[in-house]
Structure 1
């Protein structure tokens, strides 16, 4: 088993916070303009970090990360569920854990702009997962940008899409992290 198994958003999240705190000691760094970004599980972690530690981040980018463990597990293909029951937990047996470790539990605290990127054909983190996230946060008045790639799945693989995707990410972080 990996250390993160059955501890999604636990010690690994605290490692990120400890890393942030360690970097704050370096006076060469401006830690008031820090962004966080991740894809897949890293997208999940990004959502946990901006929700549970909103004071640390000036901007975030989630690329196809689960935001609600209940709907994530519900939406994955049946053949994958046994693995995710082992890695994450079971939505009925581990209900309290799922609530505690789902980013949507904390995203009302989101204090920074968020860019969400999703592939329309993603079999793992379904488009509905990211759309639900975006709709929930927009309903709360949060600053959200959303990009869906029509011909991508659980990654951005096509060259023209990679160029567009990473240009959008760079521009997003420039807009929200650069000094004006």
Structure 2
């Protein structure tokens, strides 16, 4: 009986809180990314990505992200003449939580596929906040996100910034 009462109270509290948040619809965004690797053989990374966001229950949404990233190697005697860039295609799915006032927390996991040299498939995980900046047009805004990302143990850890144009709320 105590468990049932606790579930009813939690459900009521969650339902009341969810009604206070603005209603979100399916959204799509496309943007540019800048990656700053740490403890890596890469100097910097640049890329672009597209993201689809589907609300499941207010304030939670599911996300699908695809893109490409190019990371430029540091010039060292150990990179066997491969001082150019490595191309990757990150494919990730995740969960986004709307904190309120256009602020989100997001976590994603998936794969980063290397297109040149070793053609590896790396496990990718990222977590971080994002904010929406109104553009003055209904259902459109800018999105600025910051995330920590790790691709397979000791392959790449980076802090990445994403600036995107978002269609939908």
When normalised by structure 2's length, the TM-score is 0.24
Structure with bigger helix share is 1
Q: TM-score normalised to the size of structure 1?
A: 0.23
Q: Which one has the largest radius of gyration?
A: 2
